[in-house]
Amino acid sequence: MLKFNHFNFNVLDLEKSLNFYKDALNLIPVREKTASDQSFKLVYLGDQTSDFTLELTWLRDRKEPYNLGECEFHLAFVTDDFENLHKKHKEQGIICFENEKMGIYFISDPDGYWIEIVPQR
């Protein structure tokens, strides 16, 4: 039997990303690993309700933005407070695409990763 464990995003500015995920989605660090030579750091973020985590990988020597292709991949969250979350994200200026017909929208993190917000149905 298998179950989801985590998903990874590589980030350029770890502190900026940690602040984004805390402020926008209330994700908090649940586990960290730092290389003995400080060349990388992994921070796993949790939603405080499930075992699934988002792993943020920071590489010390990486200076250029990551190539995300055409951004055809994304991480999705479901919420039972869609209207208030939408208002918050609009105020934060992080909504990058809305599909009103489908009743969903996407936000973009500091590195350009898209995150879908879906209402509980």
With respect to residue 68, please indicate whether it lies within any of the assigned structural domains.
no
Instruction: Look up the CATH number of the domain holding residue 93.
Output: 3.10.180.10
Q: Name residue 86's beta-bridge partners.
A: none
For position 60, what pLDDT does the model report? 97
With respect to residue 50, please indicate whether it lies within any of the assigned structural domains.
yes
Percentage of the chain lying above the pLDDT 90 cut: 91
With respect to residue 69, please indicate whether it lies within any of the assigned structural domains.
no
Structure-block tokens of residue 19: 């602040």
Mean pLDDT, rounded, for 24-37: 98
Structure-block tokens of residue 14: 């770890």
With respect to residue 90, please indicate whether it lies within any of the assigned structural domains.
yes
Q: Show the domain range for 18.
A: 6-62+74-119
Residue 26: count other Cβ atoms within 10 Å of its Cβ: 11
Helix H or strand E segment including 24: helix 14-25
For position 11, what pLDDT does the model report? 98
Structure-block tokens of residue 116: 């879908």
Which pLDDT band holds residue 46 (cuts at 50, 70, 90)? very high
The answer to whether 11 and 56 are in contact (CB under 8 A) is yes
Q: What is the pLDDT of residues 61-102, one digit of tens each?
A: 999 999 998 878 899 999 999 999 999 999 999 999 999 999
Total count of domains within the chain: 1
Torsion, CA 28, CA 80, CA 91, CA 110, rounded to 10:
40
Assign 8 to helix, strand or coil: strand
With respect to residue 113, please indicate whether it lies within any of the assigned structural domains.
yes
For position 71, what pLDDT does the model report? 76
For position 20, what pLDDT does the model report? 98
